[in-house]
């Protein structure tokens, strides 16, 4: 399969264990397996057969068929259909070492007003792409301030001289000469576009997503087939994704900070964490 998901079976197990506050030994006991076998799965050394995947899914309250499809590399989201809204989205892989981070340029088609969503760590690719497109970003919107998403802020601030937005309880990033604070539910105007902010806290204290028309830039809150690591609050992250993102219409595009773009409908049908757990 050409498209690679951000998370494999081993990653999903680790994150689901976090949600229960379980050690590998706790999971092994609950699933009737050995600790060594759980460790082998989480170390990407073993992809077990269907029966075992279902036992683990059952123990961790994950959706078995969705987990199996990911374990066997039989599911990736459908290729995205561009949003019909009056803007263009460019996705860029910006690297921190060898680790790719998805950053985005959002351009208002009518006015050419442009925002950068997340900076990556080494944002030369963003500066070059903006030049190639003939746009000068006037806003930087941060989904959160982990170094792989905000480490390039100083370079982008120097290149574009524009303000940066961040959630009010997120740790403050360095590198911006003009930091603006987002309150829950704020909107941000970009040319003729009205960008809404959605709270997706939990991966970090003040994680935020940005919604424009039928598209959401969701940072590390949710990945295709998985969720972010809950560094701040597992239940906070789960509930904000289930309540603030997956209640949007099924055709809403989700542009995560890592891995392929997906949609609300795809995740409701195929994400082992959220299948059957989203209530409108
Ligand atoms: Fe992150």
The verdict on residue 157 lying in a domain is yes
Residues with CB under 5 A from ligand 1 (ion): 146, 220
230: closest CA among 28, 26, 16, 7?
Answer: 16
Q: How many Å lie between the centroid of ligand 1 and the Cα of residue 203?
A: 7
Domain final residue pick, 45, 71, 97? 71
Q: How many Å lie between the centroid of ligand 1 and the Cα of residue 121?
A: 12
Q: Are residues 116 and 181 in the same domain?
A: yes
Task: Quote the strand ranges of 191-258, DSSP E.
Answer: 193-199, 208-212, 215-219, 222-223, 226-227, 253-256
Q: How many Å lie between the centroid of ligand 1 and the Cα of residue 246?
A: 20
Identify the pLDDT of residue 95.
87
Q: How many Å lie between the centroid of ligand 1 and the Cα of residue 25?
A: 27
Contacts of 101 (CB under 8 A, 6+ apart): 93, 94, 95, 118, 120, 121, 148, 149, 257, 258
Q: Are residues 36 and 174 in the same domain?
A: no
Q: How many Å lie between the centroid of ligand 1 and the Cα of residue 257?
A: 8
Q: How many Å lie between the centroid of ligand 1 and the Cα of residue 143?
A: 9
Q: Are residues 166 and 227 in the same domain?
A: yes
Q: How many Å lie between the centroid of ligand 1 and the Cα of residue 131?
A: 27
The verdict on residue 79 lying in a domain is no
Q: How many Å lie between the centroid of ligand 1 and the Cα of residue 63?
A: 25
Dist CA 56 CA 50 (whole Å): 10
Dist CA 134 CA 128 (whole Å): 10
3-class secondary-structure state, position 231: coil
Q: Are residues 55 and 112 in the same domain?
A: no
Q: Are residues 54 and 132 in the same domain?
A: no
The verdict on residue 133 lying in a domain is yes
Q: How many Å lie between the centroid of ligand 1 and the Cα of residue 150?
A: 9
Q: Are residues 66 and 100 in the same domain?
A: no
Q: How many Å lie between the centroid of ligand 1 and the Cα of residue 207?
A: 9
CATH code assigned at 182: 3.60.15.10
Pairing of strands 187-190, 193-199: antiparallel
Q: How many Å lie between the centroid of ligand 1 and the Cα of residue 52?
A: 30
Q: How many Å lie between the centroid of ligand 1 and the Cα of residue 110?
A: 32
Q: How many Å lie between the centroid of ligand 1 and the Cα of residue 18?
A: 16
Identify the pLDDT of residue 82.
92
Dist CA 175 CA 152 (whole Å): 8
The verdict on residue 120 lying in a domain is yes
Identify the pLDDT of residue 2.
59
Q: How many Å lie between the centroid of ligand 1 and the Cα of residue 205?
A: 11
Q: How many Å lie between the centroid of ligand 1 and the Cα of residue 144?
A: 7
Identify the pLDDT of residue 38.
98
Q: Which two tokens stand for residue 45?
A: 């050394």
Q: 80-139: per-residue pLDDT in tens?
A: 899 999 999 999 999 888 889 999 999 999 999 999 999 999 999 999 999 999 999 999
Mean pLDDT (the chain, rounded) = 96
The verdict on residue 236 lying in a domain is yes
- Looking at the structure of the chain, the number of domains it has is 2
Torsion of CA 43, 46, 47, 53, to 10 degrees: -80
Q: How many Å lie between the centroid of ligand 1 and the Cα of residue 229?
A: 8
Q: Are residues 116 and 65 in the same domain?
A: no
The verdict on residue 82 lying in a domain is no
The verdict on residue 36 lying in a domain is yes
Identify the pLDDT of residue 49.
97
User: Quick check: 6 and 38 in contact, CB under 8 A?
Assistant: no
Identify the pLDDT of residue 97.
86
Q: Are residues 116 and 253 in the same domain?
A: yes
DSSP label of 241: I
204: closest CA among 174, 165, 169?
Answer: 169
For residues 109-142, one letter each, b for 16 or more C-beta atoms within 10 angstroms of the residue's C-beta and e for the rest, the string is: eeeebbbbbbbbbbbeebbebbeeeebebbbbbb
Q: Which residue segment(s) compose the domain that 53 sits in?
A: 9-71
Identify the pLDDT of residue 3.
72
Identify the pLDDT of residue 59.
98
For residue 20, count CB atoms less than 10 angstroms from its CB and return exposed for 0-12, middle for 13-18, buried for 19 or more: middle
Along the 280 residues of the chain, how does pLDDT read in single tens digits?
A: 457 999 999 999 999 999 999 999 999 999 999 999 999 999 999 999 999 999 999 999 999 999 999 999 999 999 989 999 999 999 999 988 888 999 999 999 999 999 999 999 999 999 999 999 999 999 999 999 999 999 999 999 999 999 999 999 999 999 999 999 999 889 999 999 999 999 999 999 999 999 999 999 999 999 999 999 999 999 999 999 999 999 999 999 999 999 999 999 999 999 999 999 998 7
User: Quick check: 218 and 200 in contact, CB under 8 A?
Assistant: yes
């Amino acid at each position: 399969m050409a498209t690679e998901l951000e998370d494999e079976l081993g990653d999903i197990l680790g994150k689901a264990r976090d949600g229960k506050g379980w050690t590998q030994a706790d999971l092994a006991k609950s699933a009737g397996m050995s600790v060594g076998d759980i460790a082998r799965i989480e170390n990407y050394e073993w992809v077990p057969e269907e029966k075992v995947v279902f036992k683990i899914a059952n123990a961790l309250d994950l959706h078995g068929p969705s987990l199996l499809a990911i374990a066997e590399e039989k599911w990736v989201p459908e290729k995205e259909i561009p949003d019909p809204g009056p803007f263009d989205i460019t996705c860029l892989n910006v690297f921190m070492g060898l680790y790719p981070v998805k950053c985005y340029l959002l351009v208002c088609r009518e006015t050419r007003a442009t925002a950068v969503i997340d900076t990556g760590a080494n944002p030369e690719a963003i500066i070059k792409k903006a030049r190639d497109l003939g746009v000068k970003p006037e806003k930087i919107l941060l989904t959160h301030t982990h170094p792989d998403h905000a480490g390039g802020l100083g370079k982008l601030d120097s290149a574009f001289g524009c303000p940066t937005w961040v959630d009010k309880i997120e740790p403050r990033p360095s590198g911006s000469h003009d930091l603006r604070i987002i309150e829950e539910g704020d909107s941000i105007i970009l040319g003729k576009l009205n960008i809404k902010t959605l709270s997706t806290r939990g991966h970090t204290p003040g994680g935020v997503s940005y919604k424009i028309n039928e598209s959401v830039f969701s940072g590390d809150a949710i990945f295709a087939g998985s969720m972010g690591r809950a560094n701040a609050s597992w239940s906070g992250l789960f509930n904000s994704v289930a309540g603030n993102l997956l209640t949007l219409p099924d055709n809403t595009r989700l542009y995560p900070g890592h891995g392929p773009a997906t949609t609300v409908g795809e995740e409701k049908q195929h994400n082992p964490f959220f299948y059957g757990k989203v209530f409108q």
